[in-house]
Structure 1
Amino acid sequence: MNLLCVLFPMWACSFSLFSFVILARPDSTVSSIPASVLRSKQEPIPQFSSQMEAVSPGVAVVRVVHHQELNRRILIALIVASTLLGGLLLFLLCFWTCKQKILKNSNGKSKQNQEPTKALSLSPIVDRFTSLWMSGKKGSVAVIEYQLLEAATNGFQESNVLGEGGHGRVYKASFDEKFLAAVKKIDDMGVDAEREFENEVDWLVKIRHQNIVSLLGYCIHGETRLLVYEMMQNGSLESQLHGPSQGSALTWHLRMKIAIDVARALEYLHENCNPPVVHRDIKSSNILLDSNFNAKLSDFGLAVTIGSLNKNVKLSGTLGYVAPEYLLEGKLTDKSDVYAFGVVLLELLIGKKPLEKMSPTRCQSLVTWFMPQLTDRSKLLNIVDPVIKGTMDLKHLYQVAAVTVLCIQPEPSYRPLITDVLHSLIPLVPVELGGSLRVT
Structure 2
Amino acid sequence: MVSLIFVNLVIVAFYLRRKLKSKGENLMLFDLSMNLKADDIELSNKANNRRKSTKREVELPLFSFSSVAAATNNFSDTNKLGEGGFGPVYKGVLAKGDEIAVKRLSVRSRQGLQELKNEALVIAKVQHKNLVRLLGCCIERDEKLLIYEYLPNKSLDFFLFDATKRVLLELGTRLQIIEGIVEGLLYLHLHSRVRIIHRDLKASNILLDKEMKPKISDFGMARIFKGNESKANTNRVAGTFGYIPPEYVYQGICSIKSDVFSFGMLLLEILSGKKNTEFYHTGYLSINGYDQTQVASKIKLVESCLARPFRQYCCILKVRTFGFNLPNALNQSE
TM-score band by shorter chain is 0.7 to 0.9
Alignment of 1:397 with 2:319, yes or no, is no
Residue 99 of structure 2 is matched in structure 1 by 180
Query: CA separation in 2, counterparts of 1:325 and 1:174?
Result: 44
Same amino acid, percent of matched pairs: 30
Q: Does the 8 Å contact 1:373/1:380 carry over to 2?
A: no
Larger relative contact order (C-alpha < 8 A, sep ≥ 6)?
Answer: 2
The DSSP-based 3-state class of the residue aligned with 1:288 is strand
Q: RMSD in angstroms over aligned alpha carbons?
A: 3.5
The answer to whether the Cα contact below 8 Å between 1:349 and 1:385 also exists between their aligned partners in 2 is no
Give 2:132's aligned residue: 213
Q: 2:171 aligns with which of 236, 248, 252?
A: 252
Q: CA deviation at 1:245?
A: 3.6
**Cα deviation 1:256-311 (Å, max 9, x = unaligned):** 11011011111011111344211111101110000001100011111112347535
**How far did residue 188 of structure 1 move?**
2.1
Give, in whole Å, the separation in 2 of the partners of 1:343 and 1:232: 24
Higher helix share: 1
Please name the residue that 1:415 is paired with.
none
| 1:22-421 equivalent positions in 2, closer than 5 A | 96=4, 100-107=7-14, 124-125=25-26, 141-176=60-95, 178-188=97-107, 192-243=111-162, 245-307=164-226, 309-310=231-232, 312-356=234-278, 363=281, 367-368=285-286, 375-376=295-296, 380-384=299-303, 386=305, 388-392=306-310, 394=312, 396-399=313-316
What TM-score do you get using the length of structure 1 for normalisation?
0.58
Matching residue's letter, 1:277: I
Question: Does the 8 Å contact 1:350/1:383 carry over to 2?
Answer: yes
- Number of positions where the alignment pairs a residue of Structure 1 with one of Structure 2: 289
Any stretches of 5+ residues in structure 1 without a counterpart?
4-95, 114-119, 130-137, 406-440
Aligned counterparts of 2:298 and 2:103: Cα–Cα separation in 1: 42
Q: Distance in 2 between matches of 1:262 and 1:145?
A: 33
Instruction: Report the secondary structure of 2:148's partner residue.
Output: strand
In structure 2, relative to structure 1, the CA distance for the partners of 1:218 and 1:366 (3 Å cut) is farther
Question: Aligned-pair distance for 1:372?
Answer: 5.1
The letter of the residue matching 1:331 is: I
Matched-pair contact (CA < 8 Å) for 1:356–1:364: yes
Secondary structure, counterpart of 2:266 in structure 1:
helix
Tell me the secondary structure at the aligned position of residue 384 of structure 1.
helix
Unaligned runs of at least 5 residues, structure 2: 30-56, 322-334
Counterpart residue type for residue 309 of structure 2: T
CA 1:103 to 1:312, structure 2 compared with 1: closer, same or farther past 3 Å? same
| d(CA) in 1 for partners of 2:241, 2:131 | 23
